[in-house]
Amino acid sequence: MTLRLAIFDCDGTLVDSQADIAQAMEAAFAAHGLPAPPRAAIRRIVGLSLTEAIRQLVPALDNAATAALVQSYKDAFRARRSAGVVEEPLYDGIAALVAELDAAGWLLGVATGKSDRGLAHVLERHGLSGHFVTLQTADRHPSKPDPSMLEACLAATGADRTATVMIGDTAYDMAMAVNAGVRAIGVDWGYHHPDELREAGAAAVAGSVDELRQLLKALEA
């Protein structure tokens, strides 16, 4: 029996976290007396590791200043979580899709720019932890589009590249899939335009969770 592996991005694919990320980023910049980037710019970097995200937002910062801003972002996000104001809602239909894929025999993984702690919180909050067999985060890997996270998913599950799909909402996800030699499927409810996903290597872009379901079912044949 062929092992089928579906690897999901988290932010912008499983959950809509843009408001929480933007508010934590704004608090981090304020802590250093810096003007916050426009929210449109912050949306663009969702999915990257924090260090790479800050470098893209403010390329002129040196390494020490970048590291300080990264820490301030982490502190701001943790403070918001402790205060109970972090929402990160699941997109409609995602929980059902994940459960269906698991029941159908798919191996499921996550490859995300989040930290281990952040990803664990999201999955536990939404009751999804038991469905995923491999979780790869920015804590242990280079930033997307480096294929390291996907290589780790493949190694952990024993799945073949030809039976593996990466599902995400950004060009970083699609390029990571291409770099790892696995199929890339984009979703259009996240943070990058569908045209960007196709240009980065998406074999298809789902316009809804049901369309994503059909695309994955087609791979089962």
Q: Just list the catalytic residues.
A: 9, 11
d(CA 151, CA 102): 21
149 three-class SS: helix
d(CA 125, CA 65): 33
For residues 42 and 22, is the Cβ–Cβ distance under 8 A? yes
d(CA 159, CA 149): 14
Q: Which amino acid is at 171?
A: A
In angstroms, the Cα distances linking 192 to 89, 110, 189, 197 are 18, 19, 9, 7
